[in-house]
Amino acid sequence: MPTSIRIPALLCGCLFLVVVSGCQMVPQNQYRMSQLRNRQLHQQNQMSNGSLQSILAQKQQLEQQNAALNARVSNLEGERSQLNEKYVSMLNRNQKSPLSPEATSRFQDLARRYPEFEFDPATGVSKFRDDILFDLGSDQIKSSAENLLREFAQIMNQGEAQQLNILVVGHTDNTPISKASTKAKHPTNWHLSTDRADEVVLKLAQVGISEKRMGAAGYSMFQPVAPNSDGKSKAQNRRVEIFVLAPDAVVAGWDPAHRH
């Protein structure tokens, strides 16, 4: 018969304890530290996700603001383009002159007698070189130019020309205003170009043209007819132009129908 081996109960308990204890590979304190570290990493990850979402939200808000600004700029450019097209449609060189043959002939004679006065019979546009109207940097009309402006007014006040309107436009070269005495009155070329146009309007009113028929504008240095590369080309750009307009012409928001 097989021989049975009896192991005391106390010895069995000791063996069980040894086996169970051998299965616990990680000490308890290390396990708790690992749990704490995992919890800290989880919290840091949540904070990072929150910061990232905040940054993305700010980025989206800035993009929306930028889109709104771009839309506003586009609208302003569109409005400016419409006004410019309206202006150019009245003043471009291909426009037929509204002047009668008689008035055209008189303006051509005026141009022959005043070499620095130019007249385009195809468009009815007159040009006054600043040298004939103004001293450099000044908006005071020379006394020697008063007869020319007076004759211009006389032509515009006779016959069919009495029904026509005029727009006076000032231009400068690209030389910045630097002389202290000039800068005190005309801080920029914008001021100088518009001030000169205003002076021509006032002088034409003084010699007989109704102010209701006139308008004034300035382009500073931004509508050159020559490259501003030397003294001669700069002199060409310093000019005052007078555009003769038909009675129903609407230019840059100026509607003759609303005149009083």
Assess whether 73 and 123 both reside in one domain: no
User: Are the C-beta atoms of 240 and 130 separated by less than 8 Å?
Assistant: yes
Same domain, 137 and 245: yes
Phi–psi pair at 25, nearest 5 degrees: -80, -30
pLDDT by position in tens, the chain (length 260): 455 555 454 444 444 444 444 444 557 777 777 777 877 777 777 777 777 787 888 888 888 888 877 777 777 666 655 555 555 555 554 467 899 999 999 999 999 999 889 999 998 999 998 889 999 999 999 999 999 999 999 999 999 999 999 999 999 999 999 999 999 999 999 999 999 999 999 999 999 999 999 999 999 999 999 999 999 999 999 999 999 998 877 664 555 555 54
Q: Is residue 25 part of a domain?
A: no
Query: Of 64, 91, 118, which closes a domain?
Result: 91
Decide if 68 is inside a domain.
Answer: yes
Q: 187 and 62 share a domain?
A: no
pLDDT of residue 89: 54
| Together in a domain, 159 and 242 | yes
pTM of the model: 0.62
Distance CA 200, CA 145 (A): 10
The pLDDT value given to residue 134: 94
pLDDT for residue 68: 79
Say how many domains are in the chain.
2
39 backbone φψ class: left, alpha, beta (φ>0; ψ -120 to 50): alpha
Judgement on whether residues 139 and 244 belong to the same structural domain of the protein: yes
Say yes or no: 173 and 116 in one domain: yes
d(CA 34, CA 26): 11
Q: Quick one: 87 and 186 in the same domain? A: no
236 shares a domain with 116 = yes
Q: Which domain holds residue 112?
A: 101-250
User: Which residues contact residue 199 at a Cβ distance below 8 angstroms, ignoring those fewer than 6 apart?
Assistant: 139, 140, 141
Residue 152 lies in a domain: yes
Longest dimension (CA), the chain: 154
Query: Domain with 130 in it: what CATH number?
Result: 3.30.1330.60
**Residue 256 within any structural domain of the chain:** no
* Residue 257 forms part of a structural domain: no
Q: Are residues 83 and 199 in the same domain?
A: no
The reply to whether 15 falls in a domain is: no
Same-domain check for residues 243 and 208: yes
Same domain flag for 200 and 80: no
pLDDT digits (tens, 9 = 90+) for 163-217: 999 999 999 999 999 999 999 999 999 999 999 999 999 999 999 999 999 999 9
Is residue 214 within 8 A of residue 204, CB to CB? The reply is yes
Is the domain of 122 the same as that of 62? Answer: no
Within-domain flag for 145:
yes
Q: Which of 91, 117, 151 is the last residue of a domain?
A: 91
Residue 255, domain member (yes or no): no
Whole-number pLDDT of residue 10: 44
pLDDT, residue 222, reads 94
| Average per-residue pLDDT for the chain | 81
8 Å CB contact between 161 and 208: no
